Amino acid sequence: MAKHTKDPINFSFEAHPSTYRHIQMEVNGAVATLKLNIQEQSGMVDGYDLKLNSYDIGVDLELADAVNRLRFEHPEVGSVIITSALDGVFSSGANIFMLGSSSHAFKVNFCKFTNETRLSIEDATAFSGQTYIAALNGIASGGGYELPLACEEIYLVDDRRAAVSLPEVPYLGVLPGTGGLTRVVDKRKVRRDLADIFCTLAEGIKGKRAVKWGLVDAVFPPSKFNEAITERATALADGGHPDRKGVALEALNPTIDEEGIHYQHVKLLWDETPRTARLELTVPDDITALPEDAATVGCSWFPLQAFREMDDALLRLRFQHPEIGLVLLKTKGAIANVVRLDNEIMARQGHWFVREVLLLMKRVLKRLDMSAKSFFALIDEGSCFAGSLLELALAADRSYMLEEDGVQLAVSPLNGGLLPMGNGLTRLQTRFLNAPEHVDKVLSNTEPMEAIDAEDAGMVTTAYDGIGWEDELRLAIEERVSMSPDALTGMEANLRYAGPETMETKIFGRLTAWQNWIFQRPNTVGEKGALTLYGEPESAEFDFRRT
């Protein structure tokens, strides 16, 4: 008999250092430290204890918030140490009893979110001048090693007990859920045969052997560990960025009612068609111009506020509304205002605050790309799919445009490379893989496009006149939501990421797909499955036929 699922449902995706229960954030000049001090009795739901610094979604929400706040509120920081407040244990990874009692959908979305958090750490190292290093002052197992793998450098205490391991295959019959396999061979470039041993050796690798195999960068004895980490973090920080003054990120505080979720600029509304929602973004007429010190505009600056709201809405769609299969993307406002804003962002991208907003926009658009929902962009009266907001239509699985006077779309400099997909290409480059020269032609056209021109240029799926608009949309929407959600998720994941393979696309395209499959197999979650029987005296029973 399957275990009763205990998914947290009505939880907030926002956090704040004043409410952290599991993460201790310390900022000391150019160096920040994030300590894992996970409280055993403070899981998101009852039924499991977060022993040995194991984590659930509540812990990772705090970590994601801390990484983001360091970028915006503490831009002076040049390096970040991730370590543990517990002696002898860094982290034992995702809590197994939490996973065992969660629904399939929650497990998959949990792994996807933790992957995105790890990617944000790598993004901060690559683009924000905040280099992350992992100080493993104890055992790092499973997800507890996958978090360090997202850091630029990994250091392990050499106390004869501390080890790094990915024991999911031998212990649980699943895969390391947050990119561990891919990062071991693609990022740290561990030799394949050594990686094979490592990933099937439940007790892991320790000491100088871990260094030799490339699993960590160095080991230090306990008596020198803290000093060595401080010296390395200080060197990497290189004085930090004392000229940057941070911007406080205020709470979003959306209003929730029967119609949907209402933010300042974004609305997530339940459509009259079953299993369908509308995600609407409205651009105000009075977008604040950037002052000389761009950061003084604060967190209410439209692109920062709007994309934070969209990010929250996307996470709510994933975790709290699995029944929604199709999301209709809509924008409202003046195209000229969007293009003017994008030009200002382009001109001021050298300022740390503007760059951080751009990086946030990039991450949110990637979150949309990776969401297991169908997306249709509807370009009609009052729409402003231009530049940075045109990326929403380019990210959509289909885009429909009304053939009517005044309905237009437009490109801006931000479509040229500052908002790439996980495959490293822009959405325009991915769209026109068969005609790369067409991308430059599209980008050179600075005038807004009407529906027929946009369709001819390949910028929209179909243009309809006013007579057929409502009926054609209705048929397309009804057809989409009638199809198998499993087949659609697989189809979309294959079609969205055309072009080159990257570590990021491998993590999501390979790991997520295989993990999704494994999470449903009897060998893992059946009555005698490894995950089902974890912690029980009974051993798992496998069907040894390989598929």
Which candidate, 149, 91, 140, 70, places its Cα nearest to that of 115?
149
Give me the pLDDT at residue 5, please.
67
Average pLDDT of the residues of the chain: 95
3-state secondary structure of 529: coil
Choice between 497 and 437, residue whose per-residue pLDDT is larger: 437
Model pTM score: 0.96
Residue 12 gets the label, from left (phi > 0), alpha (psi -120 to 50) or beta, of beta
Q: Which domains does the chain have, with CATH numbers?
A: 18-237 (3.90.226.10), 255-495 (3.90.226.10)
**Residue 476 in tokens:** 């397309």
219 in Cβ contact with 188 (< 8 Å) = no
Start-end of H helices in 135-221: 143-149, 168-172, 180-182, 192-200, 207-213
Q: Beta strands of 297-424 (E only): which ranges?
A: 326-332, 374-379, 398-403
Give me the pLDDT at residue 3, please.
46
Q: Distance (Å, rounded) from C-alpha 443 to C-alpha 20?
A: 45
Which candidate, 514, 487, 505, places its Cα nearest to that of 421?
505
Choice between 547 and 460, residue whose per-residue pLDDT is larger: 460
Q: Distance (Å, rounded) from C-alpha 391 to C-alpha 404?
A: 22
pLDDT tens digits, one per residue of 442-473:
999 989 999 999 999 999 999 999 999 999 99
Percent of the chain with pLDDT over 90: 92
